[in-house]
Amino acid sequence: MKLVVVSNRVARGNANEPMTGGLAAALLPVVEKSGAIWVGSSGRVRDGAQKEPFAEIEALGAGALAMLDLPAAHYGGYYEGFANSALWPALHSRADLIRASQDDYLSYREVNAFMARALLRFQKPDAAFWIQDYHFLALGAELRDLGVTVPVGFFLHTPWPVRAVMEGVPHHRELIEAMLAYDLIGFQTQDDCENFLEYLSSCLGLESEDGVVISRYGKSRIAVFPIGIDAEKFALHAAKAVSHPDVSRLRRSLNGEKLAIGVDRLDYSKGLINRINAFDRMWTLQPALARTASLLQIATPSRGAIEAYGNLQNELAKLVSDVNGRHGEVDWTPIRYLNKGFSQTVLAGLYRTAQVGVVTPLHDGMNLVAKEYVAAQNPADPGVLVLSKFAGAADELDTALLVNPHDIDGMARTIATALSMPLSERRLRWEAMMDKLRNHTIQQWFADFVEALQATQAYGPAAVPAMMEPPTLWPLRSVNSGVRYH
Ligand code: F6P
């Protein structure tokens, strides 16, 4: 089978936004080894109806990395608009932040259709397409409309919310019907999967049997595939990275003081405000912890053109400065706050240096930082992971100190507990987590999904239920520069 993996962001990143780890970095070695073709955005846009949509195609292992310049007229409406101002907040249960104009939706559909046309280049009788994430919910349907019959799978890296939240997304019904063109739909957790099936049942009248749903497109299998990391490789990386100059400088600057670390994209789903409030509370409740434990918070700027992200950046900067002003000393800064990205190598070394990893999102699909923090620890003296129970990773990493990120006092107490946990308990908790990471690698995740995608070919023709109407066609019209509600 010739696999074609599709994602918005690919491993090469965008010249204007340095890549800090994240999904694309984690996927790179796996896709490279698989010999697949990886298709995604080049991070640049192009005007006009270019004949050749691919800006660059380069070798990637035995496969290739193919990058497209997306259409300039639709990029903003697609990426900052519908994908990240309507779908992203909804998927993270922030219905209050959903903003979408009709033009944004049309742009989203146009980019999905554009990607589908570009992918035809890779269609072969033995091909299979694996589409990643919420940027391309309708891509499978677009491929089917173009006559593609090979297996097409989809994996969602974010959570899937309860039905009522998803109903807040304009055109949700049409989009989710379109998702059923995928032969296989993968989620990070059982909860996400159940929420999706509940939507299908309540809103579309479609019931599943053993995780299989029948629609006008045929059969779709809905299943859980929790993503992992290459824990052994990350551990080796971390052990070497302690001598990296940035990591050595950090260690020297600590003067024996304990360190907690948080590494996140600057995103409202990551619970950064609550986290800083929890540290504030901890230093207030336990003044003895001042000077003995500080926080290094790396918050990489993200999606800066969207109002909600700009607001968060301002609010967070002010909060950090207030907390530092309140608890700081002439020779001690409670929170080191950095708005920039770091390489995977440096991050691995920073994780190993910190006695506590704080990963406290309000909602997160999986959260690979949680897994990387665990993998980076020194087995002889491991740190403690404080993890939100609302991160997908909490299902597996259940010997972390699990917290409710809305309970500031509870988080403050738990972080203090983590900072003083005895070695014997730290080792027990860490070993249990490390075992799980070793057994659920990203390589295994990739192989399991591909195997399940191949198996969908054995389903045979589907009986189409009579009650399902063909999807409503969205009005095709040109997109003007229109109002966008960011
Ligand atoms: O969590 C979903 C996701 O798409 C990840 O795959 C990725 O690391 C992250 O969001 C980054 O988003 P963006 O490409 O907008 O920076």
Looking at the fold, whether 13 and 54 belong to one and the same domain comes out as: yes
Instruction: Provide the mean pLDDT of the chain.
Output: 92
CA of 48 to the centre of ligand 1 (A): 27
- pLDDT confidence tier of residue 53, bands split at 50, 70 and 90: confident
- Structure-model confidence comparison of residues 431 and 458, the more confident one: 431
Residue 145 appears among annotated catalytic residues: no
pLDDT value, residue 185: 98
Q: Whose CA is nearest to atom 7 of ligand 1?
A: 23
Is the domain of 180 the same as that of 64? yes
The two structure tokens encoding residue 324: 């530092």
Same domain assignment for residues 116 and 175: yes
CB 171 near ligand 1, within 6 Å: no
Which has more confidence, 457 or 144? 144
Cα maximum dimension of the chain: 73
Domain-located, residue 483: no
Are residue 161 and residue 299 in the same domain, yes or no? no
Residue 172 DSSP code? H
Does 484 reside within a domain? no
239 and 276 assigned to the same domain: yes
Is the pLDDT at 477 greater than 50? The verdict is: no
The mean pLDDT of 465-469, rounded to a whole number, is: 43
Same domain, 76 and 198: yes
User: How many domains does the chain fold into?
Assistant: 2
pLDDT of residue 281: 98
Which residue in 74, 92, 135, 157 is the catalytic one? Answer: 157
Q: Helix H segments across 286-422?
A: 307-327, 344-353, 368-375, 408-419
Answer yes or no: is 143 within a domain.
Answer: yes
Q: Separation of 188 CA from ligand 1 center, angstroms?
A: 14
Same domain membership, residue 385 and residue 246: yes
Determine which of 75-84, 347-356, 468-477 has the lowest per-residue pLDDT on average: 468-477
How many angstroms is it from 327 CA to the middle of ligand 1? 34
> Residue 312 domain-assigned?
yes
Q: Which two tokens stand for residue 379?
A: 């087995």
pLDDT, residue 160, reads 98
Beta strands across the sheet bearing 37-46: 54-60, 63-71, 37-46, 2-9, 127-132, 152-155, 184-187, 218-224, 212-215, 208-209
pLDDT of residue 473: 36
- Which residue of 6, 7, 9 sits with most ligand 1 atoms within 8 Å of its CB, as the best mutation to test the pocket? 9
Strands (E), 376-431: 384-388, 401-403
Helix (H), strand (E) at residue 300: strand 293-300
Q: Quick check: CB of 365 below 6 Å from ligand 1?
A: yes
Residue 459 is predicted with a pLDDT of 60
Query: What is the 368 CA–ligand 1 centroid distance (Å)?
Result: 11
153 belongs to a structural domain: yes
- Asked whether residue 486 is domain-assigned, the answer is no
**Residue 430: which pLDDT band, with cuts at 50, 70 and 90?**
very high
Index of the ligand 1 atom closest to the CA of residue 133: 4
Out of 192, 327, 364, 440, the active site residue is 364
- Segment 196-217 shows an average pLDDT of 97
Mean pLDDT across 316-343: 97
Q: What is the 3-state secondary structure (H, E, C) of 224-252?
A: ECCCCCCHHHHHHHHHHHCCCHHHHHHHH
| pLDDT, tens digit, 9 for 90 and up, residues 141-171 | 999 999 999 999 999 999 999 999 999 999 9
- CA pair distance 333, 338, nearest whole angstrom: 13
Which of 486 and 215 is assigned the larger pLDDT?
A: 215
The pLDDT, as a whole number, for residue 16 is 40
Closest by alpha carbon to 27, among 450, 377, 346? 450
The span from the CA of 99 to the CA of 77, in Å, is: 11
pLDDT at 48: 67
Residue 359 alpha carbon to ligand 1 centre in Å: 16
Distance in Å, CA 381 to ligand 1 centroid: 32
Reported confidence tier of residue 468, pLDDT bands at 50, 70, 90: very low
Radius of gyration of the chain (CA): 23
Residue 9 CA: nearest ligand 1 atom is 14
120 and 243 in a single domain? The answer is: no
Indicate whether 347 belongs to any domain: yes
- Looking from the CA of residue 79, the nearest atom of ligand 1 is 15
* pLDDT tens-digit series, residues 360-379: 999 999 999 999 999 999 99
Is residue 374 located within the same domain as residue 421?
yes
> From the alpha carbon of 83, which atom of ligand 1 is closest?
15
* φ, ψ of residue 485 in degrees (nearest 5): -100, 70
Give the separation between CA 312 and CA 219, rounded to whole angstroms: 42
- The per-residue pLDDT for 50 is 67
Give residue 254 CA to ligand 1 midpoint distance, Å.
32
7-34 residue pLDDT tens: 999 977 444 444 455 778 889 999 999 9
- Ligand 1 in contact with 23 (CB < 6 A)? yes
Does the beta carbon of 92 lie inside 6 Å of ligand 1?
A: no
Average the pLDDT over 62-66 and give the result: 94
Contact 127, 4 (CB under 8 A): yes
The whole-model pTM stands at 0.93
Q: Give the pLDDT band of residue 291 (cuts 50, 70, 90).
A: very high
pLDDT greater than 90 at residue 462: no
Pocket test for ligand 1, best of 265, 268, 306, 390 (most atoms within 8 A of CB): 265
Q: Which domain covers residue 211, as residue numbers?
A: 2-227+441-478
For position 23, what pLDDT does the model report?
79
Give the CATH number, domain containing residue 299. 3.40.50.2000
Task: Pick the atom of ligand 1 nearest to 134's CA.
Answer: 4
3-state SS assignment for residue 105: helix
Q: Is the pLDDT of residue 476 over 50?
A: no
User: How far is residue 59's CA from residue 82's CA, in Å, rounded to a whole number?
Assistant: 32
Q: State residue 482's pLDDT score.
A: 30
| Ligand 1 pocket check for 303: Cβ under 6 Å | yes
Dist. CA 84 → ligand 1 center (Å): 10
For residue 382, pLDDT beyond 50? yes
Q: Using CA positions, which residue lies closest to atom 16 of ligand 1? A: 302
Supply the pLDDT for residue 21. Answer: 58
Q: Ligand 1: does its nearest atom lie under 6 Å from the Cβ of 133?
A: yes
Nearest by Cα to 211 from 236, 246, 185, 176: 185
Q: Which of 156, 157, 300 to mutate to test the pocket of ligand 1 (most atoms within 8 A of CB)?
A: 157
Q: Are residues 207 and 239 in the same domain?
A: no
User: Does some domain include residue 369?
Assistant: yes
Shared-domain flag, residues 241 and 159: no
Residues 96 and 174 placed together within one structural domain of the fold: yes
- Ligand 1 neighbour 302 (Cβ under 6 A): yes
Per-residue pLDDT of 35-46, as tens digits, reads 999 999 999 999
Residue 486: active-site member: no
H-helix or E-strand spanning residue 44: strand 37-46
